[in-house]
């Protein structure tokens, strides 16, 4: 089980910066198998459907003590959820709360 383990969100400066990352905020993670840059890419979206970042997928971009997207990719469903626990200027550390939760109502298929 992955619930209770941590991941790092990066790349948020390309989207909404730290605004969606209030401590305790629930975020949705969606696998992106067709991502041209990373076969194990996991997009992170806010509950309103906007992309807010990606899970870190290498040692340089993840926070110590967290797992990369590749480490969890085959152990989670297509859609899973995380909760924001801690933020820095460059990283957001989140707790995996559900490993296969399905897309929330109203969001449909996120592209």
| Residue 109, in any domain of the structure | no
Q: Domain count for the chain, please give it.
A: 1
The whole-angstrom separation of Cα 58 and Cα 44 is 16
**Is the pLDDT reported for residue 38 higher than 50?**
yes
Mean pLDDT of 70-89: 95
Q: Are strands 26-31 and 42-45 parallel, antiparallel or unpaired?
A: antiparallel
What residues make up the domain containing 11?
6-98
* DSSP code, position 12: G
Q: Which residues contact 24 (CB under 8 A, 6 or more apart)?
A: 83, 84
| 65 in any annotated domain | yes
Per-residue CA distances from 34 to 20, 38, 74 (Å): 25, 8, 15
Look at residue 37 and tell me whether its pLDDT is greater than 70: yes
The mean per-residue pLDDT over the stretch 16-28 comes to 96
CATH number of residue 16's parent domain: 3.30.70.2330
Whether the predicted pLDDT of 110 surpasses 60: no
0.95 exceeded by pTM: no
What is the structure's pLDDT at 101? Answer: 83
Burial of 87 (0-12, 13-18, 19+ CB in 10 A): middle
């Amino acid at each position: 089980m992955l619930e209770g383990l941590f991941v790092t969100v990066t790349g948020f400066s390309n989207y909404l910066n730290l605004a969606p990352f209030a401590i305790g905020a629930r975020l949705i993670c969606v696998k992106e198998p067709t991502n041209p840059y990373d076969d194990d890419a996991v997009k992170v979206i806010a509950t309103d459907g906007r992309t807010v970042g990606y899970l870190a997928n290498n040692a340089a971009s993840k926070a110590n003590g967290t797992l990369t997207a590749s480490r969890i990719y085959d152990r989670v469903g297509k859609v899973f959820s995380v909760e924001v626990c801690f933020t820095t200027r460059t990283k957001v550390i989140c707790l995996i709360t559900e490993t296969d939760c399905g897309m929330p109502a109203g969001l449909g298929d996120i592209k």
